[in-house]
Structures are given as structure tokens and as C-alpha cells.
Structure 1
């Protein structure tokens, strides 16, 4: 089998790249920059007709498997290239699998748009283009979902499980942290949710994530 991941780390492609690094996979990385027009090139549109990165092509004996959408890519890699042994990021039980699915979809539907607004208008954009009022409104909206994950992490801590799905870091943490990390410039939001902020720091300090960021 041969795994190919399209996209750069400074994009949502960080999710499948991170999953592949966590699993120690030997894979091909095609650094397709979404800003350079490459995602609209005919050869890539044949892989993902939506024209977005990331995309994953998994060459298997029965034929190529193509996956789009960053969360789907990360979940696929964990499920089909990891081992469900209760040691790595792959869900090892139906409960862990359910947690990975529900929290990944939750992150996309409840937090991603506002977390990205915070990132762009508090950190990424040049100061003259930032609109602090947009970041402030996004931060207010994020207060509700952040209370949800804060309460869940408190329940997990009481059960001796300091991560979202288990006592160990899993693909559930990878997917959700890759989104909520965008909101870290919102200091008041982080201060109001100390368990979430600590969990984020632990996730983003993982060697696999740091390797992705360092290597692109």
C-alpha cells in the first residue's frame, strides 16, 4: 500500500499529516499550496473536484481509495492505517470510535468558522486589515461550545482520562485540537476554560504535530 497526502501544513491538510506522523507512516507528501492555484489544476481536480486541499489517495491492492475533507482524511488514516490496540491514536472500542466521530463533527459545525475568525483577526492578518469587532463577536459565540468541551474534559479528568475519548491521545483529540487551536489568541476565552486550554497545550506540544509544522 502507498499513501499520498496533498496539501501544506499551513492548511487543513495539517490534520491528515499529523495523523500520519502520529502513526509513523511512510507516506508521500505533495505540498500543494491552496493559494497558488494548484488545487484548481486539472490533475488535482481529477482527485478532488471541489478544488480544495487536503486530499488523500490510498493505493490499495483492491484499487485506489480517495478521501476528501480534512476530518475524513484524518479519521480514515487512523482507522485504516493504525492498529486498534489501545495504545495509539486509532479508536480501540466502539465508544472511542463514537467519541472521535462526534467530537470531530462537533468541532466543524460548532466552532471552526468562529475559531478561524479569531485567528485571522487577532493574529494572522496584517494589523491594518484586522477587524477586532469580528474577533470579539466570534469569541462571544465560542463561549458556549467551549463550555461544552470544558465540562466534558472535567468529566474525563474525574474518570482518570485526561483526553477526549480515553486516557491517551487519540484521533479525536487530534481533530478537535486542530480546530480549537485557532482560537488560542482569544486570551479571555482560554482563561475562562483552563482545562481546555491545558488540553490544547498538551495536544499542540506533541512531537508529531511539531514535526508536521517544522517540515511543512
Structure 2
């Protein structure tokens, strides 16, 4: 059986959202980040990314991780692309060209969007918006997002979805990365097509199910 390691408050949200979309039966092992524990090596510590048992599965000590019939993958976007290819139906690629597009969007999200978007989220979570330094750092990160977000805006101004005129794993992967910067309102206010697309992604029942689980976990 397909197995996913990782709590919802991690990049495991990506494959867990996808699995909710597909209604697949899978084994979920809620490995938590060691950095979130006071003592990850305590006798009563939950299974975490520093646990020897987990490091045998993923020596990188990161989540998520996937096991599927002997195949182990340790990168969240590779995991979602694999699941979509194997089990995704319309959410997965319908041709080699679509598969290439989905890989392209995943790499675009990971390299062009995630670093500055995550920086915005981390500053906001730490209350950095209250300081001039934090506001300046957010402005710099937002400027780094200007070109990739403009690319998404142009694409979505003429197409409802990223690939194949339907919701696919490309939308799921990219939406979960864009979400990191969602709290900085000017980025989406200036890009109505991008904002509308993100809203449609996040209105899906499977996304809401994933977020309910995520919000139920301790921070």
C-alpha cells in the first residue's frame, strides 16, 4: 500500500491534498519535524525527522517521504507527480506533452516562487510585519515574486487552469507554493486572474479537507 510520511503542517500537505482528491486508500505515518519538539530524542517523543527509525526510511531527515511498492521518493513535488501519473486519472497527464508541462510547472513553482514566498510567510508568522525591517524584507521578497506571478497572471488570464483546461496536479503543486505568499495581499490584489485561480483551487472539497486536518494539528 502507498505510504506517506509527514504531518499535515509540512510539505506533506501537497501529496495529502492530492490523495484526498483521488480518494485513494493509503497509509499515513504522521512524522513530525524534530525542530518542533523540545527534545526529539526523549523516550516519549513522537516519531520525528531525527528518529533513527525514520532516518532508516529517509536519511535526509525531511518530510514528506513516500513508499510505493518499493519505490521511495523524498521530494514532495516528485511524490505528487508520481501519484498523479500512476493513479491520477484526469488530474494526471493525458500525454507526454502534458507530463512535460506538469514537470515544468512544478520546477517553476519550486525554484521561482517557493523561496521568496516562504520567506514572506515566515516573516509574517514571526510578527515581522510590525517592524520596518520586516516590512522591508517582505517588500524585497514580493519584488522577487513579481515576474513569476506576472507569468501566472498572463497564463491564467486566458486559461482557467495551468494544463489541459482542467484542474490537474500542476495546479495543486503550484497553488500550495503560492499559498505561502497569500498573506501579502498586494500580490494578489494586483493580479485578479491569479487570485481567482487560487480561490478556485482552495474551494475544492479535497483542499478544505486537507486544511481541516492541518489546522487541527498543533502549531
**What TM-score, normalized to structure 1?**
0.88
Would you identify which runs of 4 or more consecutive aligned residues in structure 1 move more than 6 Å?
A: none
In the other structure, the counterpart of 2:6 is 7
In the other structure, the counterpart of 1:102 is 104
In the other structure, the counterpart of 1:147 is 150
CA distance in 1, matches of 2:61, 2:130: 27
Contiguous gaps of at least 5 residues in structure 1: 157-161
The equivalences for 1:39-78 within 5 A come to 39-58=49-68, 60=69, 64-78=70-84
Deviation at 1:127, TM superposition (A): 5.4
Q: CA RMSD in A?
A: 1.6
CA distance in 2, matches of 1:100, 1:194: 23
Deviation at 1:94, TM superposition (A): 2.1
Question: Which residue of 108, 112, 116 maps to 1:114?
Answer: 116
CA distance in 1, matches of 2:192, 2:97: 26
Contiguous gaps of at least 5 residues in structure 2: 41-47, 215-219
Deviation at 1:132, TM superposition (A): 2.0
Deviation at 1:128, TM superposition (A): 8.4
Cα–Cα, structure 1 residues 129 and 74, in superposed 2: closer, same or farther, change >3 Å? farther
Deviation at 1:176, TM superposition (A): 0.4
Q: Secondary structure in 2 aligned to 1:66?
A: strand
In the other structure, the counterpart of 1:159 is none
CA contact (8 A) 2:128 2:135 kept: no
Deviation at 1:10, TM superposition (A): 1.3
Deviation at 1:72, TM superposition (A): 0.6
Cα–Cα, structure 1 residues 20 and 107, in superposed 2: closer, same or farther, change >3 Å? same
| 1:214 matched to 2:212 | yes
Q: Secondary structure in 1 aligned to 2:183?
A: coil
Equivalent residues, number: 201
Deviation at 1:96, TM superposition (A): 1.9
Cα–Cα, structure 1 residues 129 and 12, in superposed 2: closer, same or farther, change >3 Å? farther
Question: Residues 20-72 of structure 1, C-alpha deviation per residue, up to 9 Å, x if partnerless?
Answer: 111110011111111334111111111111110000111x3xxx111111101
